[in-house]
Structure 1
Amino acid sequence: MSAPVEVTEAVLRARPLPRHEEGEDKDSRGRALVIAGSREVPGGALLAALGTLRAGAGKVRIATCRSVAVPLALAMPEARVIGLAETAAGGIAPAEAAGLAARAEEADAVLVGPGMTDADAAEALAGALLARAAGAGVPFVLDAVALRALRPGATPPGLRGRLVITPHAGEMATLLGIPRDAVLADRLGAARRAAAALRAVVVMKGGGSFVATPEGESFHIARGNVGLATSGSGDTLAGILAGLLARGAAPLDAALWAVFLHGVAGERLAMRQGPVGFLARDLPAEVPGLLARIAAGEDDRGA
Protein backbone atom coordinates (compact mmCIF):
# COMPACT_ATOMS: atom_id res chain seq x y z
CA MET A 1 0.00 0.00 0.00
CA SER A 2 1.31 3.45 -0.88
CA ALA A 3 2.76 5.84 1.69
CA PRO A 4 0.43 8.48 3.12
CA VAL A 5 0.34 11.93 1.55
CA GLU A 6 2.03 14.57 3.71
CA VAL A 7 -0.44 17.41 4.23
CA THR A 8 0.88 20.91 3.64
CA GLU A 9 -0.68 24.28 2.91
CA ALA A 10 -0.34 23.51 -0.81
CA VAL A 11 -2.24 20.24 -0.40
CA LEU A 12 -5.02 22.09 1.41
CA ARG A 13 -5.21 24.84 -1.19
CA ALA A 14 -5.78 22.12 -3.78
CA ARG A 15 -8.82 21.13 -1.68
CA PRO A 16 -10.38 24.57 -1.11
CA LEU A 17 -13.09 25.09 1.45
CA PRO A 18 -16.46 26.52 0.42
CA ARG A 19 -16.34 30.28 -0.08
CA HIS A 20 -18.84 32.64 1.48
CA GLU A 21 -19.66 35.92 -0.20
CA GLU A 22 -20.83 39.25 1.15
CA GLY A 23 -24.60 39.32 1.49
CA GLU A 24 -24.95 35.71 2.60
CA ASP A 25 -26.81 35.10 5.85
CA LYS A 26 -25.75 32.88 8.75
CA ASP A 27 -27.85 29.95 7.53
CA SER A 28 -25.92 29.87 4.27
CA ARG A 29 -22.70 29.46 6.24
CA GLY A 30 -24.01 26.29 7.84
CA ARG A 31 -25.76 25.08 10.99
CA ALA A 32 -23.94 22.76 13.38
CA LEU A 33 -25.61 20.66 16.07
CA VAL A 34 -23.25 19.79 18.93
CA ILE A 35 -24.56 16.99 21.16
CA ALA A 36 -22.12 17.03 24.01
CA GLY A 37 -21.30 17.68 27.63
CA SER A 38 -22.36 16.23 30.95
CA ARG A 39 -22.99 17.35 34.50
CA GLU A 40 -19.28 16.96 35.31
CA VAL A 41 -17.80 18.20 32.00
CA PRO A 42 -20.08 20.84 30.47
CA GLY A 43 -16.97 22.54 29.12
CA GLY A 44 -16.52 19.85 26.48
CA ALA A 45 -19.64 21.13 24.75
CA LEU A 46 -18.44 24.73 25.07
CA LEU A 47 -15.03 24.01 23.53
CA ALA A 48 -16.54 22.05 20.66
CA ALA A 49 -19.10 24.76 19.92
CA LEU A 50 -16.40 27.43 19.96
CA GLY A 51 -14.50 25.37 17.41
CA THR A 52 -17.50 25.17 15.08
CA LEU A 53 -18.00 28.93 14.99
CA ARG A 54 -14.31 29.79 14.72
CA ALA A 55 -14.14 27.42 11.74
CA GLY A 56 -16.73 29.60 10.04
CA ALA A 57 -20.09 27.94 10.66
CA GLY A 58 -22.94 30.43 10.83
CA LYS A 59 -24.99 28.85 13.63
CA VAL A 60 -24.43 26.38 16.41
CA ARG A 61 -26.91 24.57 18.62
CA ILE A 62 -25.68 22.80 21.73
CA ALA A 63 -27.76 19.91 23.04
CA THR A 64 -26.67 19.01 26.55
CA CYS A 65 -27.85 18.01 30.02
CA ARG A 66 -30.63 20.17 31.41
CA SER A 67 -28.78 20.85 34.66
CA VAL A 68 -25.95 22.66 32.85
CA ALA A 69 -27.87 24.21 29.95
CA VAL A 70 -28.42 27.66 31.50
CA PRO A 71 -24.84 28.26 32.66
CA LEU A 72 -23.59 26.97 29.33
CA ALA A 73 -25.88 29.38 27.48
CA LEU A 74 -24.53 32.25 29.57
CA ALA A 75 -20.95 31.16 28.91
CA MET A 76 -21.60 31.04 25.17
CA PRO A 77 -24.21 33.62 24.14
CA GLU A 78 -23.57 32.88 20.46
CA ALA A 79 -25.16 29.43 20.79
CA ARG A 80 -28.71 28.19 21.16
CA VAL A 81 -28.55 25.73 24.06
CA ILE A 82 -31.09 22.93 24.39
CA GLY A 83 -31.52 21.28 27.79
CA LEU A 84 -32.18 17.54 27.73
CA ALA A 85 -33.22 14.90 30.24
CA GLU A 86 -30.26 13.33 31.97
CA THR A 87 -29.26 10.09 33.62
CA ALA A 88 -28.50 9.63 37.28
CA ALA A 89 -24.81 9.66 36.34
CA GLY A 90 -25.16 13.07 34.71
CA GLY A 91 -25.23 12.13 31.03
CA ILE A 92 -27.76 12.86 28.30
CA ALA A 93 -30.61 10.35 28.54
CA PRO A 94 -30.77 7.88 25.61
CA ALA A 95 -34.53 8.51 25.40
CA GLU A 96 -33.69 11.89 23.85
CA ALA A 97 -32.50 10.20 20.63
CA ALA A 98 -35.78 10.65 18.74
CA GLY A 99 -35.94 14.37 19.41
CA LEU A 100 -32.27 14.80 18.56
CA ALA A 101 -32.77 12.94 15.29
CA ALA A 102 -35.39 15.51 14.33
CA ARG A 103 -33.02 18.34 15.21
CA ALA A 104 -30.25 16.64 13.21
CA GLU A 105 -32.41 16.87 10.11
CA GLU A 106 -32.38 20.67 10.52
CA ALA A 107 -28.57 20.80 10.73
CA ASP A 108 -25.80 20.77 8.14
CA ALA A 109 -23.45 18.79 10.40
CA VAL A 110 -23.79 16.94 13.71
CA LEU A 111 -21.11 16.31 16.32
CA VAL A 112 -21.67 13.78 19.11
CA GLY A 113 -19.42 12.97 22.04
CA PRO A 114 -17.26 15.75 23.53
CA GLY A 115 -17.47 15.98 27.29
CA MET A 116 -19.79 12.99 27.75
CA THR A 117 -18.94 11.07 30.92
CA ASP A 118 -21.75 8.50 31.21
CA ALA A 119 -20.25 6.07 28.71
CA ASP A 120 -23.14 3.60 28.68
CA ALA A 121 -25.70 6.34 28.10
CA ALA A 122 -23.56 7.96 25.41
CA GLU A 123 -23.22 4.65 23.60
CA ALA A 124 -26.96 4.02 23.70
CA LEU A 125 -27.81 7.58 22.69
CA ALA A 126 -25.35 7.68 19.79
CA GLY A 127 -26.43 4.27 18.51
CA ALA A 128 -30.12 5.18 18.52
CA LEU A 129 -29.43 8.59 16.99
CA LEU A 130 -27.36 7.16 14.14
CA ALA A 131 -30.02 4.59 13.35
CA ARG A 132 -32.76 7.23 13.28
CA ALA A 133 -30.83 9.94 11.42
CA ALA A 134 -28.95 7.77 8.93
CA GLY A 135 -31.26 8.73 6.08
CA ALA A 136 -31.24 12.47 6.74
CA GLY A 137 -28.24 13.17 4.50
CA VAL A 138 -26.36 15.01 7.26
CA PRO A 139 -22.66 14.35 7.96
CA PHE A 140 -21.79 13.17 11.47
CA VAL A 141 -18.65 13.47 13.58
CA LEU A 142 -18.30 10.98 16.42
CA ASP A 143 -15.80 11.65 19.18
CA ALA A 144 -14.83 10.24 22.57
CA VAL A 145 -17.27 7.81 24.23
CA ALA A 146 -19.82 8.17 21.41
CA LEU A 147 -17.44 6.02 19.35
CA ARG A 148 -18.56 3.05 21.44
CA ALA A 149 -21.79 3.02 19.40
CA LEU A 150 -19.89 1.87 16.30
CA ARG A 151 -19.28 -1.71 15.27
CA PRO A 152 -17.05 -2.74 12.34
CA GLY A 153 -19.21 -3.68 9.37
CA ALA A 154 -22.37 -2.29 10.96
CA THR A 155 -22.39 1.37 9.90
CA PRO A 156 -25.93 2.29 8.76
CA PRO A 157 -25.87 2.41 4.93
CA GLY A 158 -27.22 5.95 4.91
CA LEU A 159 -24.18 7.18 6.85
CA ARG A 160 -21.52 5.63 4.66
CA GLY A 161 -19.46 8.40 3.13
CA ARG A 162 -20.82 10.93 5.62
CA LEU A 163 -19.24 9.75 8.87
CA VAL A 164 -16.01 11.07 10.38
CA ILE A 165 -14.55 9.63 13.58
CA THR A 166 -11.76 11.04 15.75
CA PRO A 167 -10.35 8.29 18.03
CA HIS A 168 -7.19 8.35 20.09
CA ALA A 169 -5.21 5.13 20.52
CA GLY A 170 -7.30 3.75 23.38
CA GLU A 171 -10.58 4.39 21.59
CA MET A 172 -9.23 2.86 18.40
CA ALA A 173 -8.18 -0.25 20.30
CA THR A 174 -11.73 -0.63 21.60
CA LEU A 175 -13.20 -0.09 18.13
CA LEU A 176 -11.02 -2.74 16.55
CA GLY A 177 -10.91 -5.12 19.50
CA ILE A 178 -7.11 -5.13 19.66
CA PRO A 179 -4.60 -4.08 22.35
CA ARG A 180 -3.72 -0.40 22.63
CA ASP A 181 -0.06 -1.27 22.13
CA ALA A 182 -0.94 -2.82 18.77
CA VAL A 183 -2.56 0.45 17.71
CA LEU A 184 0.44 2.47 18.83
CA ALA A 185 2.76 0.15 16.92
CA ASP A 186 0.94 0.87 13.64
CA ARG A 187 -1.38 3.84 13.92
CA LEU A 188 -1.68 4.23 10.15
CA GLY A 189 -2.60 0.58 9.75
CA ALA A 190 -5.23 0.90 12.46
CA ALA A 191 -6.69 3.98 10.78
CA ARG A 192 -6.87 2.21 7.42
CA ARG A 193 -8.48 -0.86 8.96
CA ALA A 194 -11.11 1.19 10.81
CA ALA A 195 -11.89 3.30 7.72
CA ALA A 196 -12.54 0.18 5.65
CA ALA A 197 -14.56 -1.57 8.37
CA LEU A 198 -16.70 1.44 9.29
CA ARG A 199 -16.93 3.08 5.85
CA ALA A 200 -15.87 6.30 7.55
CA VAL A 201 -13.16 8.94 7.31
CA VAL A 202 -10.88 8.21 10.26
CA VAL A 203 -8.77 10.78 12.10
CA MET A 204 -6.23 8.77 14.09
CA LYS A 205 -5.14 11.31 16.68
CA GLY A 206 -1.69 11.42 18.20
CA GLY A 207 1.72 13.00 17.82
CA GLY A 208 1.47 13.35 14.05
CA SER A 209 -2.09 12.39 13.12
CA PHE A 210 -3.18 10.12 10.28
CA VAL A 211 -6.34 10.40 8.20
CA ALA A 212 -7.67 7.43 6.24
CA THR A 213 -10.65 6.90 3.95
CA PRO A 214 -12.75 3.83 3.09
CA GLU A 215 -11.35 4.02 -0.46
CA GLY A 216 -7.80 3.42 0.79
CA GLU A 217 -6.45 6.97 0.69
CA SER A 218 -4.26 8.03 3.60
CA PHE A 219 -2.67 11.24 4.81
CA HIS A 220 -0.22 12.33 7.48
CA ILE A 221 -0.34 15.68 9.29
CA ALA A 222 2.90 16.35 11.13
CA ARG A 223 1.96 19.77 12.47
CA GLY A 224 1.39 20.37 16.17
CA ASN A 225 3.34 19.97 19.40
CA VAL A 226 3.24 18.52 22.89
CA GLY A 227 1.21 21.49 24.14
CA LEU A 228 -1.81 20.08 22.31
CA ALA A 229 -1.78 17.11 24.69
CA THR A 230 -4.05 18.92 27.12
CA SER A 231 -7.60 18.60 28.44
CA GLY A 232 -10.21 19.70 25.92
CA SER A 233 -7.88 19.78 22.92
CA GLY A 234 -9.71 16.92 21.20
CA ASP A 235 -13.08 18.59 21.84
CA THR A 236 -11.83 21.67 20.06
CA LEU A 237 -10.56 19.63 17.11
CA ALA A 238 -13.89 17.85 16.76
CA GLY A 239 -15.69 21.20 16.83
CA ILE A 240 -13.48 22.67 14.11
CA LEU A 241 -14.15 19.61 11.98
CA ALA A 242 -17.91 19.88 12.48
CA GLY A 243 -17.82 23.57 11.64
CA LEU A 244 -16.08 22.92 8.33
CA LEU A 245 -18.59 20.18 7.52
CA ALA A 246 -21.44 22.56 8.31
CA ARG A 247 -19.99 25.05 5.84
CA GLY A 248 -20.25 22.38 3.13
CA ALA A 249 -16.76 20.85 3.04
CA ALA A 250 -16.54 17.19 2.03
CA PRO A 251 -15.76 14.85 4.95
CA LEU A 252 -12.17 14.15 3.87
CA ASP A 253 -11.43 17.80 3.17
CA ALA A 254 -12.94 18.87 6.50
CA ALA A 255 -10.82 16.28 8.33
CA LEU A 256 -7.56 17.34 6.67
CA TRP A 257 -8.15 21.05 7.18
CA ALA A 258 -9.31 20.59 10.79
CA VAL A 259 -6.30 18.52 11.88
CA PHE A 260 -3.88 20.87 10.14
CA LEU A 261 -5.50 24.01 11.58
CA HIS A 262 -5.56 22.49 15.06
CA GLY A 263 -1.89 21.58 14.84
CA VAL A 264 -0.72 24.95 13.55
CA ALA A 265 -2.86 26.75 16.14
CA GLY A 266 -0.89 24.86 18.77
CA GLU A 267 2.39 25.89 17.15
CA ARG A 268 1.41 29.55 17.11
CA LEU A 269 0.38 29.49 20.76
CA ALA A 270 3.62 27.73 21.71
CA MET A 271 5.62 30.47 20.01
CA ARG A 272 3.87 33.14 22.05
CA GLN A 273 3.15 31.43 25.37
CA GLY A 274 5.61 28.55 25.65
CA PRO A 275 5.55 24.90 24.56
CA VAL A 276 3.18 23.74 27.31
CA GLY A 277 0.60 25.50 29.41
CA PHE A 278 -1.64 27.06 26.77
CA LEU A 279 -5.26 25.97 27.06
CA ALA A 280 -7.67 24.25 24.70
CA ARG A 281 -9.90 27.33 24.93
CA ASP A 282 -7.05 29.36 23.36
CA LEU A 283 -6.99 27.28 20.17
CA PRO A 284 -10.21 28.34 18.40
CA ALA A 285 -9.28 32.02 18.22
CA GLU A 286 -6.26 31.11 16.07
CA VAL A 287 -8.37 29.44 13.40
CA PRO A 288 -9.93 32.37 11.46
CA GLY A 289 -6.56 33.98 10.82
CA LEU A 290 -5.04 30.69 9.75
CA LEU A 291 -7.89 30.06 7.33
CA ALA A 292 -7.33 33.47 5.77
CA ARG A 293 -3.53 33.03 5.54
CA ILE A 294 -3.73 29.63 3.88
CA ALA A 295 -6.41 30.76 1.44
CA ALA A 296 -4.22 33.78 0.55
CA GLY A 297 -1.35 31.49 -0.38
CA GLU A 298 0.77 32.00 2.71
CA ASP A 299 2.54 29.21 4.58
CA ASP A 300 2.61 29.26 8.35
CA ARG A 301 5.27 27.97 10.72
CA GLY A 302 3.88 29.36 13.95
CA ALA A 303 4.95 32.97 13.27
Structure 2
Amino acid sequence: MTHEILTADGLKAFPLPMPQEGSKDERGSALVLGGSVSVPGAALLAGIAALRAGAGKLKIATVGSVAAGMGLAVPEAMVIGLAETPEGGVDAEGAVECLLKVTKGCDALLVGPGLVEDGPTTTLAIRLLEALPSASFILDAAAVCGLASYSDDVRRHGSRVVITPHAGEMAQLLDRSRDDVEADPLDAALRAVELLGTVVVMKGAKTWIVDPEGARWLYEGGGVGLATSGSGDALAGIILGLLARGVAPMAAALWGVFLHGEAGKSLAASVGPIGFLARELSGEVPGLLRKAAAQP
Protein backbone atom coordinates (compact mmCIF):
# COMPACT_ATOMS: atom_id res chain seq x y z
CA MET A 1 0.00 0.00 0.00
CA THR A 2 1.28 3.47 -0.86
CA HIS A 3 1.68 6.31 1.59
CA GLU A 4 1.04 10.04 1.58
CA ILE A 5 3.69 12.68 2.20
CA LEU A 6 2.54 15.00 4.98
CA THR A 7 2.40 18.57 3.66
CA ALA A 8 0.34 21.69 4.21
CA ASP A 9 -1.63 20.95 1.05
CA GLY A 10 -2.43 17.43 2.22
CA LEU A 11 -3.71 18.75 5.53
CA LYS A 12 -6.43 20.75 3.77
CA ALA A 13 -8.42 17.52 3.89
CA PHE A 14 -8.37 17.81 7.70
CA PRO A 15 -9.48 21.38 8.46
CA LEU A 16 -9.05 22.53 12.03
CA PRO A 17 -11.73 24.36 14.01
CA MET A 18 -10.84 28.05 14.08
CA PRO A 19 -13.14 29.71 16.63
CA GLN A 20 -13.67 33.44 16.29
CA GLU A 21 -15.51 33.72 19.61
CA GLY A 22 -16.73 31.56 22.50
CA SER A 23 -15.57 30.55 25.97
CA LYS A 24 -12.51 28.58 27.00
CA ASP A 25 -14.80 25.62 27.72
CA GLU A 26 -15.64 25.41 24.04
CA ARG A 27 -11.96 24.83 23.22
CA GLY A 28 -11.75 21.89 25.59
CA SER A 29 -9.99 20.80 28.74
CA ALA A 30 -6.60 19.05 28.56
CA LEU A 31 -4.78 17.18 31.31
CA VAL A 32 -1.10 16.19 31.41
CA LEU A 33 -0.16 13.37 33.76
CA GLY A 34 3.60 13.40 33.93
CA GLY A 35 6.80 14.54 35.53
CA SER A 36 8.94 13.28 38.38
CA VAL A 37 11.45 14.73 40.81
CA SER A 38 14.24 14.12 38.29
CA VAL A 39 12.30 15.18 35.17
CA PRO A 40 9.64 17.70 36.22
CA GLY A 41 9.98 19.78 33.06
CA ALA A 42 8.50 17.17 30.72
CA ALA A 43 4.98 17.86 32.00
CA LEU A 44 5.61 21.61 31.80
CA LEU A 45 6.71 21.43 28.16
CA ALA A 46 3.72 19.32 27.20
CA GLY A 47 1.23 21.47 29.07
CA ILE A 48 2.39 24.74 27.55
CA ALA A 49 2.34 23.16 24.10
CA ALA A 50 -1.27 22.08 24.63
CA LEU A 51 -2.26 25.66 25.38
CA ARG A 52 -0.29 26.98 22.41
CA ALA A 53 -2.20 24.52 20.19
CA GLY A 54 -5.43 26.13 21.37
CA ALA A 55 -6.74 24.11 24.33
CA GLY A 56 -9.02 26.23 26.48
CA LYS A 57 -8.13 24.83 29.89
CA LEU A 58 -5.15 22.90 31.27
CA LYS A 59 -4.54 20.68 34.26
CA ILE A 60 -1.15 19.21 35.13
CA ALA A 61 -0.99 16.26 37.52
CA THR A 62 2.52 15.60 38.80
CA VAL A 63 4.47 14.51 41.87
CA GLY A 64 3.53 16.42 44.98
CA SER A 65 7.00 17.73 45.77
CA VAL A 66 7.21 19.73 42.53
CA ALA A 67 3.56 20.77 42.24
CA ALA A 68 3.96 24.20 43.82
CA GLY A 69 6.87 25.07 41.56
CA MET A 70 4.92 23.80 38.56
CA GLY A 71 2.02 26.07 39.46
CA LEU A 72 4.33 29.09 39.48
CA ALA A 73 6.01 28.04 36.23
CA VAL A 74 2.67 27.49 34.46
CA PRO A 75 0.24 29.91 36.11
CA GLU A 76 -2.32 29.18 33.40
CA ALA A 77 -2.75 25.61 34.69
CA MET A 78 -4.51 23.97 37.59
CA VAL A 79 -1.77 21.82 39.13
CA ILE A 80 -2.54 18.68 41.10
CA GLY A 81 0.08 17.20 43.44
CA LEU A 82 0.07 13.40 43.50
CA ALA A 83 1.44 10.84 45.92
CA GLU A 84 5.00 9.92 45.03
CA THR A 85 7.35 7.01 45.46
CA PRO A 86 10.61 7.15 47.44
CA GLU A 87 12.39 7.30 44.09
CA GLY A 88 10.58 10.51 43.17
CA GLY A 89 8.04 9.15 40.70
CA VAL A 90 4.25 9.18 40.77
CA ASP A 91 2.86 6.50 43.07
CA ALA A 92 0.45 5.03 40.54
CA GLU A 93 -1.65 3.10 43.03
CA GLY A 94 -1.79 5.96 45.51
CA ALA A 95 -2.69 8.47 42.80
CA VAL A 96 -5.64 6.62 41.29
CA GLU A 97 -8.41 7.97 43.52
CA CYS A 98 -7.25 11.57 43.12
CA LEU A 99 -6.89 11.23 39.36
CA LEU A 100 -10.33 9.72 38.92
CA LYS A 101 -11.74 12.88 40.52
CA VAL A 102 -9.68 15.52 38.75
CA THR A 103 -9.96 13.97 35.28
CA LYS A 104 -13.74 14.10 35.21
CA GLY A 105 -14.80 16.50 32.49
CA CYS A 106 -11.44 16.44 30.72
CA ASP A 107 -11.70 16.16 26.95
CA ALA A 108 -8.18 14.87 26.35
CA LEU A 109 -5.43 13.36 28.49
CA LEU A 110 -1.72 12.86 27.94
CA VAL A 111 -0.12 10.15 30.08
CA GLY A 112 3.59 9.50 30.24
CA PRO A 113 6.03 12.38 29.75
CA GLY A 114 8.57 12.41 32.55
CA LEU A 115 7.05 9.45 34.39
CA VAL A 116 9.75 7.01 35.43
CA GLU A 117 8.18 3.58 35.99
CA ASP A 118 6.92 1.78 32.89
CA GLY A 119 4.74 -0.95 34.43
CA PRO A 120 2.79 1.13 36.97
CA THR A 121 2.41 3.96 34.45
CA THR A 122 0.89 1.64 31.85
CA THR A 123 -1.48 0.16 34.43
CA LEU A 124 -2.58 3.64 35.47
CA ALA A 125 -3.16 4.63 31.84
CA ILE A 126 -5.44 1.63 31.35
CA ARG A 127 -7.39 2.48 34.52
CA LEU A 128 -8.01 5.98 33.20
CA LEU A 129 -8.98 4.71 29.74
CA GLU A 130 -11.60 2.48 31.32
CA ALA A 131 -12.88 5.24 33.62
CA LEU A 132 -13.16 8.01 30.99
CA PRO A 133 -15.03 6.55 28.01
CA SER A 134 -15.58 9.87 26.23
CA ALA A 135 -12.08 11.37 26.49
CA SER A 136 -9.29 11.17 23.93
CA PHE A 137 -5.86 9.97 25.04
CA ILE A 138 -2.21 10.24 24.09
CA LEU A 139 0.05 7.60 25.58
CA ASP A 140 3.69 8.58 25.49
CA ALA A 141 7.04 7.51 26.92
CA ALA A 142 6.61 5.27 29.99
CA ALA A 143 2.93 4.72 29.20
CA VAL A 144 3.77 3.00 25.90
CA CYS A 145 6.40 0.42 26.81
CA GLY A 146 4.17 -2.10 28.57
CA LEU A 147 1.03 -1.83 26.47
CA ALA A 148 1.45 -5.25 24.84
CA SER A 149 0.30 -6.86 28.09
CA TYR A 150 -2.94 -4.87 27.86
CA SER A 151 -3.51 -5.12 24.11
CA ASP A 152 -7.13 -6.29 24.43
CA ASP A 153 -7.93 -3.45 26.82
CA VAL A 154 -6.34 -0.88 24.53
CA ARG A 155 -8.08 -2.22 21.42
CA ARG A 156 -11.48 -1.64 23.04
CA HIS A 157 -10.62 2.06 23.18
CA GLY A 158 -8.20 2.30 20.26
CA SER A 159 -10.35 4.66 18.20
CA ARG A 160 -9.70 7.45 20.70
CA VAL A 161 -6.03 6.79 21.45
CA VAL A 162 -2.78 8.05 19.91
CA ILE A 163 0.58 6.59 20.91
CA THR A 164 3.82 8.49 20.25
CA PRO A 165 6.83 6.18 20.79
CA HIS A 166 10.42 6.73 19.75
CA ALA A 167 12.44 3.74 18.58
CA GLY A 168 13.45 2.60 22.06
CA GLU A 169 9.91 2.67 23.40
CA MET A 170 8.59 0.93 20.30
CA ALA A 171 11.25 -1.77 20.73
CA GLN A 172 9.99 -2.46 24.25
CA LEU A 173 6.38 -2.47 23.11
CA LEU A 174 7.02 -5.01 20.34
CA ASP A 175 9.77 -6.97 22.11
CA ARG A 176 12.20 -6.22 19.29
CA SER A 177 15.65 -4.70 19.26
CA ARG A 178 15.99 -0.97 18.77
CA ASP A 179 18.13 -1.67 15.70
CA ASP A 180 15.26 -3.65 14.15
CA VAL A 181 12.82 -0.80 14.74
CA GLU A 182 15.19 1.80 13.32
CA ALA A 183 15.85 -0.39 10.26
CA ASP A 184 12.14 -0.49 9.34
CA PRO A 185 10.10 2.02 11.36
CA LEU A 186 7.05 1.68 9.11
CA ASP A 187 6.87 -2.06 9.76
CA ALA A 188 7.10 -1.37 13.49
CA ALA A 189 4.30 1.20 13.28
CA LEU A 190 2.08 -1.20 11.34
CA ARG A 191 2.71 -3.95 13.88
CA ALA A 192 1.79 -1.61 16.72
CA VAL A 193 -1.44 -0.63 14.94
CA GLU A 194 -2.29 -4.30 14.47
CA LEU A 195 -1.56 -5.01 18.13
CA LEU A 196 -3.34 -2.05 19.71
CA GLY A 197 -5.78 -0.57 17.18
CA THR A 198 -4.63 2.99 17.90
CA VAL A 199 -3.21 5.79 15.82
CA VAL A 200 0.58 5.39 15.92
CA VAL A 201 3.09 8.21 15.59
CA MET A 202 6.46 6.50 15.04
CA LYS A 203 8.90 9.29 15.86
CA GLY A 204 12.29 9.61 14.21
CA ALA A 205 14.31 11.67 11.77
CA LYS A 206 11.37 10.90 9.51
CA THR A 207 8.05 10.29 11.25
CA TRP A 208 5.42 7.77 10.23
CA ILE A 209 1.77 8.25 11.17
CA VAL A 210 -0.44 5.18 10.70
CA ASP A 211 -4.05 4.53 11.64
CA PRO A 212 -6.15 1.34 11.98
CA GLU A 213 -8.00 2.14 8.75
CA GLY A 214 -4.80 1.66 6.78
CA ALA A 215 -3.79 5.27 6.13
CA ARG A 216 -0.03 5.85 6.11
CA TRP A 217 1.58 9.28 6.18
CA LEU A 218 5.25 10.21 6.18
CA TYR A 219 6.60 13.50 7.47
CA GLU A 220 10.08 13.93 6.12
CA GLY A 221 11.43 15.90 9.03
CA GLY A 222 11.68 19.31 10.58
CA GLY A 223 15.47 19.25 10.78
CA VAL A 224 18.19 17.89 13.00
CA GLY A 225 17.55 20.55 15.63
CA LEU A 226 14.41 18.70 16.72
CA ALA A 227 16.62 15.92 18.05
CA THR A 228 16.90 17.60 21.44
CA SER A 229 15.76 16.96 25.01
CA GLY A 230 12.06 17.66 25.50
CA SER A 231 11.16 17.80 21.81
CA GLY A 232 8.90 14.77 22.07
CA ASP A 233 7.12 16.28 25.09
CA ALA A 234 6.32 19.36 23.02
CA LEU A 235 4.98 17.18 20.19
CA ALA A 236 2.75 15.22 22.56
CA GLY A 237 1.45 18.46 24.04
CA ILE A 238 0.57 19.90 20.64
CA ILE A 239 -1.42 16.78 19.79
CA LEU A 240 -3.09 16.96 23.22
CA GLY A 241 -4.22 20.52 22.63
CA LEU A 242 -5.74 19.60 19.29
CA LEU A 243 -7.53 16.59 20.76
CA ALA A 244 -8.94 18.79 23.52
CA ARG A 245 -10.39 21.05 20.83
CA GLY A 246 -12.29 18.10 19.40
CA VAL A 247 -9.99 17.20 16.51
CA ALA A 248 -10.18 13.49 15.64
CA PRO A 249 -7.15 11.39 16.68
CA MET A 250 -5.69 10.80 13.21
CA ALA A 251 -6.13 14.44 12.20
CA ALA A 252 -4.67 15.62 15.52
CA ALA A 253 -1.66 13.35 15.03
CA LEU A 254 -1.08 14.60 11.49
CA TRP A 255 -1.42 18.25 12.43
CA GLY A 256 0.66 17.78 15.58
CA VAL A 257 3.56 16.20 13.69
CA PHE A 258 3.37 18.87 10.99
CA LEU A 259 3.21 21.82 13.41
CA HIS A 260 6.06 20.41 15.50
CA GLY A 261 8.22 19.89 12.43
CA GLU A 262 7.43 23.27 10.92
CA ALA A 263 8.21 24.91 14.27
CA GLY A 264 11.61 23.24 14.07
CA LYS A 265 12.15 24.59 10.56
CA SER A 266 11.15 28.08 11.67
CA LEU A 267 13.58 28.05 14.60
CA ALA A 268 16.33 26.62 12.44
CA ALA A 269 15.93 29.65 10.18
CA SER A 270 15.86 32.22 12.99
CA VAL A 271 18.22 30.64 15.55
CA GLY A 272 20.30 28.09 13.70
CA PRO A 273 19.96 24.47 12.59
CA ILE A 274 20.88 23.19 16.06
CA GLY A 275 20.87 24.77 19.49
CA PHE A 276 17.28 25.93 19.80
CA LEU A 277 15.39 24.58 22.80
CA ALA A 278 12.32 22.39 23.07
CA ARG A 279 10.67 25.08 25.17
CA GLU A 280 10.83 27.40 22.15
CA LEU A 281 8.91 25.09 19.81
CA SER A 282 5.44 25.72 21.17
CA GLY A 283 5.80 29.48 20.78
CA GLU A 284 5.92 28.99 17.02
CA VAL A 285 2.63 27.10 16.91
CA PRO A 286 0.06 29.95 17.08
CA GLY A 287 1.65 31.67 14.10
CA LEU A 288 1.70 28.42 12.14
CA LEU A 289 -1.97 27.89 12.95
CA ARG A 290 -2.76 31.43 11.81
CA LYS A 291 -0.91 30.81 8.57
CA ALA A 292 -2.81 27.55 8.02
CA ALA A 293 -6.14 29.27 8.63
CA ALA A 294 -5.30 31.98 6.09
CA GLN A 295 -4.52 29.54 3.29
CA PRO A 296 -7.40 28.97 0.84
TM-score normalised by the shorter chain: which range applies?
A: over 0.9
**Deviation per CA, 1:218-263, whole angstroms, max 9, x where unpaired?**
1001130110000000000000000000000000000000000000
Structure 1 counterpart of 2:148: 151
1:131 touches 1:156 (CA, 8 Å); kept in 2?
A: no
Letter in 1 for 2:53: A
2:126 touches 2:153 (CA, 8 Å); kept in 1?
A: no
Unaligned runs of 5+ in 2: none
Structure 1 counterpart of 2:231: 233
Comparing 195-204 and 124-133, the one that deviates more = 124-133
Give the one of 34, 40, 43 matched to 2:41. Answer: 43
Letter in 1 for 2:139: L
Give the one of 122, 135, 139 matched to 2:136. Answer: 139
Partner Cα distance (1:105, 1:159) in 2? 17
Comparing 112-121 and 241-250, the one that deviates more = 112-121
Using the aligned pairs only, state the percent identity.
52
1:6 touches 1:221 (CA, 8 Å); kept in 2?
A: yes
**Deviation per CA, 1:6-46, whole angstroms, max 9, x where unpaired?**
11111112210123132x00010110011011111110010
Comparing 240-249 and 184-193, the one that deviates more = 184-193
Letter in 1 for 2:161: L
Partner Cα distance (2:146, 2:5) in 1? 31
SS at match of 1:283: helix
Mapping for residues 1-303 of structure 1, pairs under 5 Å: 2-22=1-21, 24-95=22-93, 96-133=95-132, 136-151=133-148, 153-156=151-154, 158-297=156-295
Partner Cα distance (2:232, 2:49) in 1? 10
Comparing 122-131 and 178-187, the one that deviates more = 122-131
TM normalised by structure 2 equals: 0.95
Deviation of the 1:160 alpha carbon: 2.1
1:107 touches 1:138 (CA, 8 Å); kept in 2?
A: yes
Partner Cα distance (2:17, 2:291) in 1? 15
Partner Cα distance (2:127, 2:214) in 1? 29
Deviation of the 1:297 alpha carbon: 1.2
Partner Cα distance (1:40, 1:65) in 2? 10
CA RMSD of aligned residues (A): 1.5
Comparing 286-295 and 13-22, the one that deviates more = 13-22
Deviation of the 1:158 alpha carbon: 4.4
Q: Aligned residue pairs: how many?
A: 294
SS at match of 2:25: coil
TM normalised by structure 1 equals: 0.93
Partner Cα distance (1:6, 1:85) in 2? 44
2:146 touches 2:173 (CA, 8 Å); kept in 1?
A: no
SS at match of 1:141: strand
